[in-house]
Chain A
């Protein structure tokens, strides 16, 4: 981490953009935000919303995340798929009020990999679904959320 963050700070050409509220609509049309899937309140409904009917468990879909989180507001999760032809990865937290956290579509030279921080309201399975060759694959990992600190 140390080297990474130092190199990030010093990286040549790293620039900070100025926020342009509302003005910077992308030139190309964005894929619309999938309101139905993100508004779904169960994992099954969310999966239906992103067109997943059936997903086969796969060991080639790897979730690297802590088994126990000291704070549910930030839970780091790294996902990598070794399934040939993976085109997208979706992340769900089963017990969240709205389980779907995100869907990442890869093209060009992008590897089917993403690392992000998610909110997990209570101890829950994290469910990851990969799409490859028109089929869906699934992996899950249980993450325990606990209480730390003085609670005041």
Chain B
């Protein structure tokens, strides 16, 4: 079973060493790509795509995390997953001081499904959070690709370690689950430090509707 955001903090942190599995490939045909497959598929993409707006051709190139997940059909061996998570965690730029921003701004970011596509202006991104997660109980139109985050901070409080976990997960979900389906919002340059703080507040601020 996929490791989820919902797990209690201690369990979530401890589970970094267990093997992630995404539950993908229900049709049984998600078989993973050899290095040669990956090169060939990347070549097909290069030959049949063109850049448009901010979506440059460099987006086709794979990084280490993508290579690992493609190779193992999102289910890499535990040891390799752990090494990948550690490397991703190291690359997170944690700001000093409080990680709690403005939950109201966070709600707007969570609502927006825009950003990073060829039809979006660069630098105006939302987090697409409601596309996949239940968050504020006031928003009924939420997706179910990711776990529900309703009451997230109510259950966990907002101690500095929890703030750090939430900020880190938003910044780079692959630091906690090597083949998480969640985009790496900070790592990819989608969201700014302030936006990630605002989303952290949406989940953890006791005044946020998420925790009412």
Could you list which residues of chain A lie within 8 angstroms of chain B, going by C-beta atoms?
146-152
In the assembled complex, B120 has its CB within 8 A of some CB on chain A: yes
Q: Which residues from chain B contact A148 at a C-beta distance below 8 Å?
A: 141
In the assembled complex, B128 has its CB within 8 A of some CB on chain A: yes
* Contact of B140 with A146 in the complex, beta carbons under 8 Å: yes
* Contact of B141 with A152 in the complex, beta carbons under 8 Å: no
* Contact of A152 with B128 in the complex, beta carbons under 8 Å: yes
In the assembled complex, B114 has its CB within 8 A of some CB on chain A: yes
* CA of A151 to CA of B117, assembled, Å: 12
Contact code string B113-157 (vs A, CB < 8 Å = 1, else 0)? 111010110000000101100000000110000000000000000
Q: Main secondary structure on chain A at its contact with chain B?
A: loop
Given contacts A149-B113, A151-B111, 8 further A-B contacts (CB under 8 A): A147-B130, A148-B141, A150-B113, A151-B112, A151-B113, A151-B114, A151-B131, A152-B128
| CB < 8 Å A-B pair total | 23
Q: Which residue from chain B places its CB closest to the CB of A148 in the assembled complex?
A: B141
Q: Which residues from chain A contact B119 at a C-beta distance below 8 Å?
A: 152
* CA of A151 to CA of B110, assembled, Å: 11
* Contact of B140 with A151 in the complex, beta carbons under 8 Å: no
* CA of A152 to CA of B114, assembled, Å: 5
* Contact of A150 with B141 in the complex, beta carbons under 8 Å: no
| A82 → chain B closest CB, angstroms | 34
* CA of A152 to CA of B111, assembled, Å: 11
Q: Which residues from chain B contact A146 at a C-beta distance below 8 Å?
A: 140-141
Q: Which residues from chain A contact B117 at a C-beta distance below 8 Å?
A: 152
Q: Which residues from chain B contact A152 at a C-beta distance below 8 Å?
A: 113-115, 117, 119-120, 128
Q: Which residues from chain B contact A151 at a C-beta distance below 8 Å?
A: 111-114, 128, 130-131
Q: Which residues from chain A contact B131 at a C-beta distance below 8 Å?
A: 150-151
| B119 → chain A closest CB, angstroms | 8
Which listed residue, B114, B115, B128, B141, touches A147 by the CB 8 Å rule? B141
Q: Can you show 7 pairs from A to B with CB atoms below 8 A apart?
A: A147-B141, A148-B141, A150-B131, A151-B111, A151-B128, A152-B113, A152-B119
* CA of A22 to CA of B117, assembled, Å: 43
* CA of A139 to CA of B123, assembled, Å: 48
* CA of A136 to CA of B140, assembled, Å: 36
- The residue in B111, B117, B140, B141 that gathers the most chain A C-beta atoms within 10 A of its C-beta is B141
* CA of A148 to CA of B120, assembled, Å: 19
10 A-B pairs with least C-beta separation: A151-B113, A147-B141, A146-B141, A152-B113, A150-B113, A152-B114, A152-B117, A150-B131, A151-B131, A146-B140
| B124 → chain A closest CB, angstroms | 12
| A146 → chain B closest CB, angstroms | 4
* CA of A150 to CA of B129, assembled, Å: 10
